[in-house]
Amino acid sequence: MKTFSEWVVELAREIPKGRVTTYGRIAKAAGGGGMAAQSITSILGKAYRNGITDIPWHRIVYADGRIWITARHKKERMRLYKKEGIEVDKRGRIKDFQDRLHEFT
C-alpha cells in the first residue's frame, strides 16, 4: 500500500502536458485532509532530492490559478509554459484556468 507521499509524487508526475492542477487537488487525490496541500511542495522537494527529477513543477498552481515562481526559476518556467501552450497573464495566473485544470479521477 502506498503512503501519502508516494501518492503525491505519482500524481504530480501524471499531470498531462498543457494542463495544470492545484496543490489541494493533489493532496485530496492522494487521500489527504484539508491541510495536506501545505505539505505538497515539501514532499515533492524531498522526492526530487532523492532522484525523482521528472516532476513537472510548473503544472502545479494555487487554487486561484496563480503560479508559484521565483526569480531563480522564472525564465525556465515561462519557457515550459510557452512550450506547452499554457498562457500566463500579467497577474501571474493561468489564462483559461478552468479549461486547463486537470482533475484526478
The per-residue pLDDT for 51 is 98
The per-residue pLDDT for 89 is 97
Please spell the DSSP secondary structure of 6-36, one letter per residue.
HHHHHHHHTPPTT-BEEHHHHHHHTT--TTG
Domains in the chain: boundaries:
4-100
Task: Record the pTM.
Answer: 0.93
Number of Cα atoms under 13 Å in the Cβ half of residue 15: 26
The per-residue pLDDT for 69 is 86
Give the residues of the chain that fall short of pLDDT 70: none
Q: For the domain with range 4-100, which CATH number is right: 1.10.10.10, 3.20.20.70, 2.60.40.790, 3.90.45.10?
A: 1.10.10.10
The per-residue pLDDT for 49 is 98
The per-residue pLDDT for 33 is 86
